[in-house]
A and B are shown apart, each in its own frame.
Chain A
Amino acid sequence: MAGNREEAPDYGQGVVITDDWTGYDLSLFTYPQHYYGDLEYVLIPHGIIVDRIERLAKDIMKDIGCCDIMVLCVLKGGYKFCADLVEHLKNISRNSDCIFMKVDFIRLKSYRNDQSMDEMQIIGGDDLWTLAGKNVLIVEIGTGRTIKALLSSIEKYKPNMIKVASLLVKRTPRSDGFRPDYAGFEIPNLFVVGYALDYNEYFRDLNHICVINEHGKEKHRV
């Protein structure tokens, strides 16, 4: 991708998109007409997302493909990433070593408890005690919600192993230093939409990951 980029040394960083990357002009790609005028530029085209996920699936299979995996998809933002990732995992599985994979879906709700401490509530999903002794792969889009809190919640159910796959890792000053095991892209601290990421539930039907503009924010304001 055009722009200055550092080398990614290991699994952790993924494709690094630097702060000076100006994106792709919207006129160079196709996207839904109802979003014309609402977006600034394309940050990551859909095709590159899918290519990167193909590689993530390969890395995951190489790491934990020997065992049964319990995929835990964090909704709503994670649904496309999870669907595409599982699809690639299945492709690999069909053509080489078999891997038994189950998928479940959860939502996260953060709240403050009576001691004024931040807590994470897991909503949905089957009985989480079925995770005991299993290898869990958390699949999330990477919106910056504190995954550490989710991890400690999951740990209570005593899985054998927990790995996290995040499509996006944002460089933010508030970052709690958490690094997923598998990262798709490291991106600047921008508000992005598309590929299941929403702005007030809009833009989930946009294929590419884009930066929203002021007009778009205004139009889709609640």
Chain B
Amino acid sequence: ISSSLREAANEDTCVTISDEEPGDDLDLFCVPNHYAKDLEKVFIPHGLILDRTEKLARDVMGDMGGHHIVALRVLKAGYTFCADLLDYVKTRFFKSYCNDQSTGAIKVLGGDNLSTLAGKNILIVEDIIDFGKTMQIFLSLVQQHNPKMVEVANLLVKRTPRSIGYQPDFVGFEIPDKFVIGYALDYNEYFRDLNHVCVISETGKAKYKSEAESLG
């Protein structure tokens, strides 16, 4: 069979990182010196995240591009993924969908004025999904405001037995159930200045534990 047929048949929906994946040694990439002891491995290098995000942006525009898009970001989450995703949408793929008829704007909402969602294409942007319960609740809340279409873009989905099986529309990477930080993921506000997704070390966990966690 021709390779293009084979491509379609085997089309993965996301980059799957296996449970056996050890990650890369810290000394193979650039990592801030002050985190040298706090990290175990580089799990997903920043450049790979960007490459994947560029494709996600293209996929998003493929689905939603012809109409007004409103991007919703859950406030507790980091902004890095949302910023990079929308950046690619705006710079790489937006022009090809703009025409005279469409006003084609992108708005990012904090979530306060949800009535403006009516009739629009809504893109919910999240960095990581563990169990999916929060997302389900959030989705039904959004649906109540009668958007034209709602889709969810997620950078990371964790394989965990506790997951309720919710699958976002656009997924960057499917990863094992490991304690990862960096890029969009902080740990008690730390690691925001780390641009690769990394596995935290025991030293790191202990060092950046919050007071509440230490007591609890």
Contacts and interface: CB of A to CB of B under 8 A. Distances in A.
A2 B18 CA distance: 7
A45 B30 contact: no
Contacts of B96: none
B15 A24 contact: yes
- Chain A interface category by residue count: 35 or more
B206 interface: no
B22 interface: yes
Given A37-B3, A215-B3, A8 B51 contact: no
B47 A48 contact: yes
Contact of B7 (A1, A26, A52): A26
Interface string A1-31: 1111101100000110000000011111110
A8 B46 CA distance: 20
B47 A51 contact: yes
* Chain B: number of interface residues, binned into ranges: 20 to 34
Contact of A51 (B2, B10, B29): B29
A76 interface: no
B49 A2 contact: no
Interface stretch (B52-60, B72-80, B120-128, B134-142): B52-60
Nearest to B10: A25
A150 interface: no
Nearest to B54: A30
A46 to B, nearest CB: 6
A122 B93 CA distance: 44
Given A30-B54, A30-B55, A2 B28 contact: no
Interface of A: 1-5, 7-8, 14-15, 24-30, 36-40, 45-52, 54-55, 58, 208, 213-216
